[in-house]
Structure 1
Amino acid sequence: MFFTILAIIGKILLTILKILLFLLLLVLLVTGLVLFVPVRYDFSGSYHGNDIRAEGEASWLIHFISLRFWYRDGKTPYILRIAGIKILPGKIKEKQERKGKQKAGAKHKNKKTTRKSNKTTAKNESKDSVVKGGKDFLIKNDADRADAGEEKLEDVQKVDLKKDIKQNKKNNKQKNKDKQKKCLWKNIVSKLKGLMQIPKKIANTFKKVSDAVKKIFAAVRSGKEKAVLVKEFVFGRECLDFVCVVRDNVLHLWRHIKPKLLRIDMTIGFDDPAVTGQVLGVIAAFCGAAGIMPCVTPDFEKRVFESDIEIKGRVTVFVLLKILIKVYFCEELKEFKKSYKSIREVL
């Protein structure tokens, strides 16, 4: 009995160990694939006048995960697939688009039905008005008699209102004259007070100007000292060493990210042929420094710019992490941080 229990426990432990080893191997396999399998990118675009088109794709692990997008007429649709199954935009967006189309169709039908109903109601109202024409005529005659008496009363009331308005205007004119006299006296007194305060204002402005000049001179003196400190920091050994490390790693990163296939076909032209020649010289210098060989066709007769571009390359996550870790843990960065903190405290 005891040995059977030990055998069962041993089998359970072995199965647990097998599961743990399987999970460990799976994690190692996934991390290895993520780190060492490159992400491939492919991009192509064209520009011909107002016609702008672009198309790109990024894939990983033989298109196990792929993201593709387009740009045409100001729209950028995209598709994300995993193992050939479309994940984004997904079925939810498609359902929403269908519902939107169905709602638009229903609204169009409702508009047609409302127009028909309005036409039928208008016809019925015209018939009812013809039938009730005689009765309405009699009612209108009685109403006109009553309105004649009311108009006489309204004329009397209008005459009284006009008299009241004239009286109110006279009273308002008198009040305005009294107010203007009071305002004149107040303005005269305030102007006299202002003239008495002019010498004080002049003295205060002189004081402010002198204080501002003193502050400017003090800022210039302190600015000179700060400028000397900043110059020493920029041209110091710590800063220059860190710049050299960053430059070397950026060049290493560019050599890794640089497209394996780069095809550029351009047609360039300006109104002035001399400007076209100068631009061609700048492009040649830049492409020679970057190691790019585009196909540039100059047009010395008219102003034009057209281009077609195609880029293909790959990026490995392991190389990117290696460069970042190398820069982050280098001694030059630590010394640069120390000198930067010291100068920041002084400034």
Structure 2
Amino acid sequence: MIHIILAILKIVGILLAVLLGLVLLILLTVLFLPLRYRICAEKHGELKKSTANVSVSWLFGILKVKAGYRNGQISFVPQIFGKKIDFAKKNTGQTEDSSEEAENNETKNCETEKTEDVSEEKKPLPVLEEKTKPDPKPSPKTETQENRASKSETQDGEMSELQAEDAAEPEKRHRFFNIIEKVRMQIEKIRNRILTAKEQAKKTIRSITKSKETLKRYLDFLRSDLSREVYQILKNHLFYLLRHIRPHKIKGYVHYGFGDPALTGEFTGILYLILPAKCEELDLEPDFEDQVCEGEVLALGHIRICHLALTGAKIFFDKKLKIYWKRFRQLRRA
């Protein structure tokens, strides 16, 4: 019985050791196996006519991603074991099915419209009957009645005009008082607008003074000794990453210029700091007079995840950076 239990424990231990070994192997491959990249760019004249190709491979070329820019169009092709993965095929199939359904629906709608038009044409049109009536001739009795009615209308009109004049006097008074009330309301509105403008000006002055105080606090914080130390730490980490990420081989030539001699000289110095020492096959041609950017470049390099992980861990566990972050949060809350 004991032998059986020991054998089971032995098998479980072997399985756990194998699993741990696999996990360690995967972890080591992710950390130390380099991610290789190849950059090829060419520019002469306009940006639309330029070309650029970038390929990134990992795990001895099993996983590869290619991206390119040509004639103003961007291409992106992932590969596994050298075979392309096309995501567009599924989308094209779905679009073809939807287009066929749309065409069928359109044909059905056209057939129904045709049948409706034919049925409307077959309907009988209504016949209009015209009835002619004889024009009545005026009689002498009606003429006398019209004269009497016109006389009575003139008398009624004169009476109504007198009544309207009597009724117009209170209406004129009412209109006069309405005009005075409207003028008073307009004056009140202008006074309220002036008061609101004064309050708004006071608020803007307060906000400007407050923003000045906050800006002064931020500037004092950035000029402190702790900020300088943190800047130096981050600068060292950045240069460490650039040493391991920058390409180890570069070919070609670059003809560049910003139109400003000082800016062109500063950019040239930065390039010589970033580029590796063994960069004899790359020709830098700075132009200190004109604004130019053209050339052909081929760059090869690799990136290891272990360098990124190490830099991230150093930044995360740095005490000065933690203190700096706490003080910055306190400054934001204040």
**TMscore range, shorter length:** 0.5 to 0.7
Conserved 8 A contact 1:46-1:54 = yes
- In structure 1, the partner of 2:324 is 336
* Matching residue of 1:287: 271
Does 1:86 pair with 2:70?
Answer: no
Q: 1:6 to 1:235 in 2, by over 3 A?
A: same
Length-normalised TM-score, structure 1: 0.62
| 2:185 is the alignment partner of 1:197 | yes
1:307 to 295, 304, 309: 295
Contact (CA 8 Å) 2:67, 2:74: kept in 1 or not?
A: no
Segments of structure 2 that go 5 or more residues without pairing to the other structure are 108-123, 134-167
Does structure 2 retain, via aligned residues, the 8 Å contact 1:268–1:305?
yes
CA spacing shift, 1:269–1:333, aligned 2, 3 Å: closer
Displacement after TM superposition at 1:259 (Å):
1.0
Structure 1: how far apart are the matches of 2:34 and 2:226? Answer: 35
Give the structure 1 partner of residue 38 of structure 2. 42
1:6 to 2, 5, 28: 2
Q: Which has the higher helix share?
A: 1
Tell me, what secondary structure is at the counterpart of 2:75?
Answer: coil
Matches of 2:300 and 2:52, distance apart in 1: 14
Counterparts of 1:141-156 in structure 2 under 5 Å? 150=128, 152=130
With over 3 angstroms needed to count, the CA separation of the structure-2 counterparts of 1:286 and 1:323, relative to structure 1, is closer
User: Within 5 Å, which residues of 2 pair with 1:161-180?
Assistant: none
Distance 1:298 1:88, change over 3 A: same
Going from structure 1 to structure 2, the CA distance change for 1:281 and 1:329 (only over 3 Å counts) comes to closer
Give SS of 2:300's match: strand
Q: What are the Cα deviations for residues 312-347 of structure 1, in whole angstroms up to 9, with x where unaligned?
A: 11111111011001011101112112212322232x
TM-score calculated relative to the size of structure 2? 0.64
User: Which residue identity is paired with 2:19?
Assistant: L
Q: Which of 240, 244, 256 lines up with 2:228 in the alignment?
A: 240
- CA shift digits 1:10-48 (9 cap, x unpaired): 222222211111111121111111111111111212234
1:268 positional shift: 5.8
Query: In the comparison of the two structures, how many residue pairs are matched?
Result: 270
Distance 1:97 1:214, change over 3 A: closer
Percent identity, please.
22
Residue type at the aligned position of 1:80: Q
Q: Write out per-residue CA displacement over residues 104-141 of structure 1, whole angstroms, 9 at most, x where no aligned residue.
A: 9x99xx9xxx9xxxxxxxxxxxxxxxxxxxxxxxxxxx
Give unmatched runs, 5+ long, in structure 1.
115-142, 157-180
